[in-house]
Amino acid sequence: MSNGSDNNARALTLLIFLALIWGTSFILMKRGLQVYSAGELGSIRVAAASLFLLPIALLKLKDLKPGHYIKLFASGMMGIFFPAFLFALAQTRLESSVTGIMNSLTPICTLLIGVFFFHQQFRRQSIIGIVLGLTGTIILVLANSGGSIGSINAFATFVILACIFYAFNLNYIKYKITDLNALTITSVSLMLIGPLALVFLFGFTDFTAKLRTHEGAYTGLGYILLLGFMSTSLATILFNKLVKISSPLYTSSVTYLIPVVAVLWGLFDGEHLFPGHFAGMAAIIGGVYLANRKI
């Protein structure tokens, strides 16, 4: 009896930590972008996460077969590399709280891509959730800086594209990489894409010059390193632990907590949200809930 209670307490603790870590990611990106470009932030984030998990990746190499490497490279590009740059680019013109809410589209995108590309079974009750979530997205895309519905904020489409990459990767892992555990997939994927991030950072950006001359360069770098360590490395390990001691439905509830943390950080940082933003956010969260509700 006590073992079950201990598991429940551990699961709740892990769930809270995950929500705090992933919900804080967006304000860390905002801080990093005050000094560095979107390309610099994305490449530093990927490279840092790769280095943090490199010791684990090296230990996991013994579990791999030759055919795994191309699959893990593809997974790393879809699930980590491209989204890191897309989210950074989006947040150059979006509030961190709005970006955090739009990240909740990932489960809906995962469901749609699973149905259309991987022959996943489609539950009819999910249609309402999908329509509601997409409606919320449209509201946020059309919401201008004054909160009214009008001019299109094209940078919101970068978040949508990042969610689509996440969704493709989740389905790809589920159906194409069935013989490796999540920690092996994540750590080795990062090891394989890390060199690309380093080449881009030192070969195609002004990172080194900015580090020498910009007054807040080291502070901004600290925020991005923290982002790479927490949101990719540490969070992945905690998520794997949560999956092992709880149900998939319980684990998926982190999807609803991340936006709450992101919005609270945004409001604390002085971001202004208006009725149009809240309407879009509520529709997305409601849509995610309905699309993933078990009946």
Q: What is the pLDDT of residue 1?
A: 46
Taking the C-alpha atoms of residue 253 and residue 83, their distance in angstroms, rounded to an integer, is 22
Q: Report residue 102 as tokens.
A: 């739009």
Taking the C-alpha atoms of residue 222 and residue 258, their distance in angstroms, rounded to an integer, is 22
- What would the mean pLDDT of 40-67 be, rounded to a whole number? 95
Q: What is the pLDDT of residues 192-234, one digit of tens each?
A: 999 999 999 999 999 999 999 999 999 999 999 999 999 888 8
What is the reported pTM? 0.86
Q: Name, in order, each residue with C-beta under 8 angstroms of 137's C-beta and a sequence gap of 6 or more.
A: 102, 105, 156, 160, 280, 284
Q: Annotate 121-137 with b (16+ C-beta within 10 A) or e (fewer).
A: eeeeebeebbebbbbbb
Q: What is the pLDDT of residue 242?
A: 81
DSSP state of 95: -
Q: What is the pLDDT of residue 279?
A: 84
Q: What is the pLDDT of residues 62-112, one digit of tens each?
A: 989 999 999 999 999 999 999 999 999 999 998 898 888 888 788 788 878
Average pLDDT, the chain: 86
Amino acid of residue 111: L
Q: Report residue 279 as tokens.
A: 């309407």
Please state, as a whole number, how many other Cβ atoms lie within 10 Å of the Cβ of residue 15: 19
Q: What is the pLDDT of residues 227-284, one digit of tens each?
A: 999 988 888 888 877 877 776 556 666 777 888 888 889 889 998 777 877 888 788 8
Ramachandran angles phi, psi of 120, nearest 5°: -75, 145
Beta carbons of 137 and 102 less than 8 angstroms apart: yes
For residue 66, count CB atoms less than 10 angstroms from its CB and return exposed for 0-12, middle for 13-18, buried for 19 or more. exposed
Taking the C-alpha atoms of residue 135 and residue 205, their distance in angstroms, rounded to an integer, is 37
Q: Report residue 217 as tokens.
A: 């360069």
Which of 38-42, 106-110, 138-142 is the least confident region? Answer: 138-142
Taking the C-alpha atoms of residue 25 and residue 124, their distance in angstroms, rounded to an integer, is 34
- What would the mean pLDDT of 105-127 be, rounded to a whole number? 79
DSSP state of 149: B
Q: For residues 61, 62, 66 and 70, what is the CA-based torsion angle, rounded to 10 degrees?
A: -20
